[in-house]
Structure formats: C-alpha cells, structure tokens
Structure 1
C-alpha cells in the first residue's frame, strides 16, 4: 500500500467508488455538453460549447486513465448506468427541443454549470488528498481545478448574455 506524507493510507474502496461516481458524472456531462453544442449551433455561442465539449471529454478520459492507473476497476453497475444514460441522453432530457430560448434553455445552462461545479469539487478533493497521497499530481490537479473554474465562467457568461432574451419582453 502506498505511503503517504501523513502516515495515513488511502481507503481504496471508498476512493475507488468516489472516482467511479465522478466518472459516471463526467460521461453524463460530455453528453449534455454535446447536446448544448447542438442547442447553440449557428449562434455566437457555438464555439464556446464546441471548446467546452472537447475539454470536458478530454478530462473524462484523463479521469478514467487515473482510475486505471490507481489499479481500480470500474463498477459494472455504474457502467450499465452510463450506457442507459447514453440512451436517455439521445432524447435530450434537459432541453428536448434543443432551443436556447425559454426555460428549457435556462435549465440546460444551469445544469451544465452544476455539472462543472461537481467536477470542481472532485479536483478540490483530490488536491487535498495529494498532500497525503503521492499518487495524485498536485500541479496537474491545480490545472484541472483552474480549467473547471474557467468552464463555469464560460457557461455563466452565455447564461448572462442570453437570459434577457429568454425572460424579458
């Protein structure tokens, strides 16, 4: 078992489950950001969502690589949930009409911000753990944390720029 700076060792079962939960969330996030990209296609915000979709997809892949590097196995149940979520996600559950207007467009943007906020919490947690567990590379985790904050700002900016058209006459 790896030694840590504080003499404490990681609780592998809980850490593996936590990371797997976040990977499931990341897979959902990628699908929702792809849907948002379709929503904003042809608008001035399309590039924002194209860029965010790529970043978030890369981060999901990095999280999966980390899980495997730690020697953890994916939960078969969570993998099945991810597969089922992919089927449901094709129907666009947050914004089925893929429109940036109205409450569906607003809820889609708020959902995206929530997803990125959850990811920020993951990186903050791993940053704390990096002080106790040398398997976590603190400089890279800080970069990922900074990216999550920038992603939240980007989605918030789209929401702020488009909210008046949704709610004001």
Structure 2
C-alpha cells in the first residue's frame, strides 16, 4: 500500500499514535464546539456553532474510520482520557459561565480557532504522506483542509464581530 517507487514505508507505531492523538483532540473539539453552541444559544451565532459542531463530529467519525481502516487500534489510555474529558467537558472548563462576553468568551473563541487549526495540520500532514502512501485519498484530504479553512473563518467572524462589545465601552462617533 505504500509507494514502492518512493522508498518510504509507513512507521505504523508513530502514525497510529499520531492519529490517536488527533482523535482525542477531535473528541475534545466536538465537546467544546457543543459548549460554544450552548454559549451562543439564542444569538445570531447559534446556528454557526451548531453547524460547526456537526461538521467537526463528522470529521471525528471519519478520522476514527480511517484509523480502523488502516488497521490501527485506539490506545486504551487515550480512550480513557477521552471518557474523562467527556465528564470534565460538561463543566465548561474554558467558559464555565457560558457567556459570550468578557475575556472568557474571547478565550473560548481563540481556543476554538486553535482546535480547528490543529485539525487542519493533521489533514495537511496526511496530504504530505499521501504522496508516499496510497492509503490516503489526496482529494478528500484537500476537501478536509478547505473545510478547516472555512471553519476557522466562521469562528474568526464571530470573534471579530463580537470583540468590540467585550473590550470597548460606548460608541465612538465620527469626529469625536
């Protein structure tokens, strides 16, 4: 399944651990985007976060299927961490008051951007590997990279549109 002409062969232990790390991160990401959806419930941004949560859950499922298709197994330790994270995640560790305002709201949005950026790095890494390992579908990986870019833009838009309300007081009038 690797490209015999390239001389490269997959280092299964390393690749398996890397993908498992990203699966753990994806599970965390789904929980955090769910928390953001609840934070922004009733606002014009609720649907944005509902859509992002759904997309990221789908990507997590696709990553899990890829791991299984490659014949890798989840680390029992990381699986236990994911379960513990699910319990902890219900406490809202980034934005415990579930408010979109203030510094915790800003930090939550920045964290979500970081999560999506890390996921994009995964897809870019696998795209680089696809030149040497035919088990990866380059066109699907490019679609995932493009989706991550759109997701980052969506979170950035919320952050940029809501930042003034978090950090500025009153309205600045032209000519003031």
Provide the TM-score with structure 1 as the length reference. 0.98
Correspondences of 1:25-104 after superposition (within 5 Å): 25-104=25-104
Counterpart in 2 of 1:161?
Answer: 161
Gaps of 5+ in 2: 170-176
Alignment of 1:86-165 (within 5 A): 86-165=86-165
Per-residue CA shift, 1:33-60, capped at 9, x if unaligned? 0000000000000110010000000000
Q: Distance in 2 between matches of 1:18 and 1:65?
A: 15
1:8 is displaced (CA, Å) by 1.1
Point out the structure with max Rg over C-alpha: 2
Could you tell me whether the CA contact under 8 Å between 2:126 and 2:141 is conserved in 1? yes
Contact persistence 2:103–2:166 (CA under 8 A): yes
CA RMSD of aligned residues (A): 0.6
For 2:2 and 2:51, the matched residues in 1 are separated by 38
Matched residues in 2 for 1:43 and 1:145: separation? 28
Tell me the TM-score normalised to structure 2 length. Answer: 0.94
Q: Which runs of 5+ in 1 are unaligned?
A: none
Corresponding residue number in structure 1 for 2:172: none
CA distance in 2 between partners of 1:148 and 1:21 (Å): 18
2:18 alignment counterpart: 18
State the Cα deviation string for residues 69-90 of structure 1 (Å, max 9, x = none): 0000000000000001111100
Q: Residues of 2 paired with 1:23 and 1:33: CA distance?
A: 15
